[in-house]
Chains A and B, each alone.
Chain A
Amino acid sequence: MTMLDDHPSDEASPELEKKAERAESWRGFFTALPTYVYLIVFFVLPLIIITVISFTERSRTGKPVLGEWTLEWWIKLGDPLVRTVGFRSVWLAFLNTAFSLLLGYPFAYWIATRKSAIMRNLLLVLVLIPFWSNFLVRTYAWRTLLDSNGLITNVGEWTGLWGKMLFTEPAVFLGLLYGYLPFMVLPLYAAIEHLDWNLVEAARDLYAGAWKAFRKVTLPLSMPGIIAGSILVFIPSLGAYVTPDLLGGAKTTLLGNYIVTQFKSGRNWPFGATLSVTILALMMVATIIYFRRGGKTL
């Protein structure tokens, strides 16, 4: 009783408060309901279906035979061919992430440190402009650039540094870098733009040179942007389909294309399903690492 007397303003009884809280949580549920239903029907259910399929035998046309269970497809993941495709995909995704970061960081830093807000927004729009046209069309444009007599090929032949790159791994790499660089720049920009520049000044005041101040203060404090950007580039690069399909040859098959092959000419739905579930699991692990490693500070 004395507790209540001390807080005469807290007039709502615990009973009423609980009721209000319940009503609030129901309101939240109804707001989110359409999205929940959509995600369950079109995401969770298909996911369950492909997971089930990954454990079934296949018919002669490649379709899953429900009721006949096998671990064959999961064991097949260890095949040398599958491993090569997997490693190549991870390697290219990693390379793409590293170069996106290397190119994206200075660029994002430069945009974020422009004094005029109009200038910053203009530069950001420039980053986004490629999204206004179709990704497929843009990838075909790369084909022209990389093909014999294409601009990039001509420059390479003229300088003697490279030849025709189309249908090779470098072509896929260039395509991926082009396609996913904006996903690196945007979160980096957000992180650098939010930086408290007083901290950099404090570091300079405490005898740090420009580079030391960057390494000790700017870089660690933009880590959330680095992590977010890396996830946003790595994950879609790992599952990329269009870019390797159009720019890579038969020798540069990546996981995305390999999965499509299983469902089409390979006539092996269960193995395609197994590969899909595997990529999904890999991405989930990456995302969890991201949230553990400071995603919370975003």
Chain B
Amino acid sequence: MTAAVGIRGVTKRFGTDVTAVDDVSLDIVDGEFFSLLGPSGCGKTTMLRMIAGLEFPTEGSIQIFGEELALKPPNKRPVNTVFQSYALFPHMTVEKNVAFGLEMRKVPKAEISEKVATAIKAVHMDGMENRKPKQLSGGQQQRVALARALINRPKVLLLDEPLGALDLKLRQAMQIELKDIQAEVGITFIYVTHDQEEALTMSNRIGVMEAGKLLQVGTPEEIYERPVNRFVAEFIGETNFINGTAVEDDRVRLADGFVVHAISDAPPETDVTLTLRPEKVQIHTRDATDIPPERNQLPATITRQLYYGESLYYEIEIPGGELLDARLENIPSLRRWDVGTEVTISFHREAAEALTS
């Protein structure tokens, strides 16, 4: 099957010393909601702009449904973009903005007005056809930008942090709406964001980028549960890092000779970093005997308690002096621990992963 978007060895250099995108290869499946996730300056927007044709790759190939278009101008590509700042034409009404793409493609007038009316209705902007972008709220501008892109039925829709400028409540509502629209139109969405939560909740798959490189591609679950390196583990969600040394049989030796089981590919005697999510740590009394055998155990001391409402955070000191966070859901039966209490912590042997980089 041909990929909706096939990216092969794409590199983008600005001048001689800035490499914005560094040898990225990636296949995006038809109908997929794919997110490019990374901190600002990681190259995700540049990657998106190269798919749109607003930037041309220095090297590599970009294909859409098998058609090579790395060097085609943007107006000759079957893709449309929802820009971060919406980029609505300020001198045109909502109606004119939405009609722009069809007019440029010389679609008959009657067909345009019919399609524009439908598109405006689809994003619940009917009744505001004659307003100028300035007279709309951020959320409304967002909807118009979406309608203006989707009306052209692109093969791929590119979205550059489209919800970045909205406040939290509206952003959450728009996330759901975007998901629904995508399911309805069945168009491949490529979504650029620096918000890991947004990427996790909305995407079929996520590509994590850093410093121009594509570090990991996978489902939200794969990215969260099995990060490939420290950067991915730390960027997506919260995590604890524990230094150790790999030993045979998927085990890791920690400070003071404690050995725990973990998911590990590392050859014996290499330095590794264990990543362990705070919510996967449990706290028991020091002399607890009911801890299941598939869970690792470590003696520890409570050093801090933070109350977050829906959860409680405990900062715990483990052998070797390293500090871990444990997040416990605030359920009625939750046992509280005083600072200074000596406890035993446990985590499942598949909850910790040994990273070599």
Contacts and interface: CB of A to CB of B under 8 A. Distances in A.
Overall SS of chain A's interface: helix
Interface string B68-86: 0000011100011101010
B52, B75, B90, B105: residue with the most chain A Cβ atoms closer than 10 Å? B75
A205 B81 contact: yes
A217 interface: yes
A132 interface: no
B75 A209 contact: yes
A145 interface: no
A203 interface: yes
B54, B87, B101, B148: residue with the most chain A Cβ atoms closer than 10 Å? B87
Contacts of A198: 83, 85, 87
Given A199-B89, A201-B54, A201-B74, A207 B83 contact: no
Nearest to B148: A206
B141 interface: no
Interface residues of B, number: 23
A72 interface: no
Given A201-B54, A201-B83, A202-B81, A208 B91 contact: no
Interface string A164-205: 000000000000000000000000000000001011011111
B138 to A, nearest CB: 16
Contacts of A212: 104
B152 interface: yes
A206 B101 contact: yes
Contacts of B81: 201-202, 205
Contacts of B100: 203, 206, 208, 216
Nearest to A210: B73
Contacts of B79: 205
Contacts of B74: 201, 204-205
Interface residues of A, number: 18
Contacts of A201: 54, 74, 81, 83, 87
A198 B149 CA distance: 15
A220 interface: yes
A260 interface: no
Given A205-B75, A206-B100, A206-B152, 4 more contacts: A198-B87, A204-B73, A204-B74, A206-B75
Contacts of A205: 52-54, 74-75, 79-81
Contact of A204 (B75, B90, B105, B149): B75
Interface string A58-86: 00000000000000000000000000000
B7 to A, nearest CB: 18
B46 to A, nearest CB: 13
Interface in B41-100: 52-54, 73-75, 79-81, 83, 85, 87-91, 100
A127 interface: no
A206 B73 CA distance: 11
A221 interface: yes
A208 B104 contact: yes
Contacts of A220: 91
Nearest to B104: A207
A207 B85 contact: no
Contact of A206 (B54, B85, B90, B104): B104
Nearest to B158: A205
Contacts of B52: 205
Interface in B97-117: 100-101, 104-105
A201 to B, nearest CB: 5
Interface in B246-292: none
Given A201-B54, A202-B81, A208 B87 contact: no
Interface in A205-250: 205-210, 212, 216-217, 220-221
A225 to B, nearest CB: 14
A196 B87 contact: yes
B83 A206 contact: no
A220 B149 CA distance: 22
A206 B80 contact: yes
Nearest to A221: B91
Contacts of B83: 198, 201-202
A162 B89 CA distance: 47
Given A204-B75, A205-B52, A209-B75, A217 B89 contact: yes
A206 B2 CA distance: 25
A110 to B, nearest CB: 21
B120 to A, nearest CB: 16
B192 to A, nearest CB: 14
Nearest to B151: A206
Contacts of A207: 75, 101, 104-105, 152
A205 B50 CA distance: 12
- Top 3 nearest A-B pairs by Cβ distance? A202-B87, A206-B101, A207-B104
13 contacts: A196-B87, A201-B74, A201-B83, A202-B88, A202-B89, A203-B89, A204-B73, A205-B54, A206-B80, A207-B101, A207-B105, A208-B104, A220-B91
A253 B89 CA distance: 47
A273 B79 CA distance: 65
Interface string B121-157: 0000000000000000000000000001100100000
A221 B90 contact: yes
